[in-house]
Amino acid sequence: MQRLLNLGHVLKMLANFKATKVMPIQVYEDPDIPGKYVAWDGQHTAILLYILCTMIFEISPAELEVPIVVYVVNTKAEIRENFISLNG
């Protein structure tokens, strides 16, 4: 659903990091695989948090809590529409 990961964008976010700008990772449960969640927005934030916590603060990934929002949706088309309107 998301565009390809842009590490340059992640590094720019890291250079200008402000905790108050961190938004939750947005996910939905895959209707074809119950219990599996698909991120539809926030991949760059997830990588940023991983780098910040594990490489800068040397925190184990097992100790991290990443904020997420789980959306209840029925179709991928609805998620696609949300992604385009939020990131377009």
Question: How many Å apart are CA 70 and CA 35, to the nearest integer?
Answer: 12
| pLDDT tops 60 at residue 10 | yes
Q: Strands 68-71 and 25-29: what pairing?
A: parallel
| pLDDT tops 70 at residue 60 | yes
Do residues 38 and 30 touch, judged by C-beta distance below 8 A?
A: yes
Least confident of 11-20, 47-56, 71-80: 71-80
For residue 41, which phi and psi values (nearest 5 degrees)? -160, 140
The model's pLDDT over 21-54, given as tens digits with 9 standing for 90+, comes to 999 999 988 888 999 988 888 889 999 999 999 9
Q: Would you state the pLDDT for residue 57?
A: 94
Mean of all residue pLDDT scores within the chain: 87
CA end-to-end distance (rounded Å), the chain: 13
| pLDDT tops 70 at residue 2 | no
Average pLDDT (57-70) is: 92
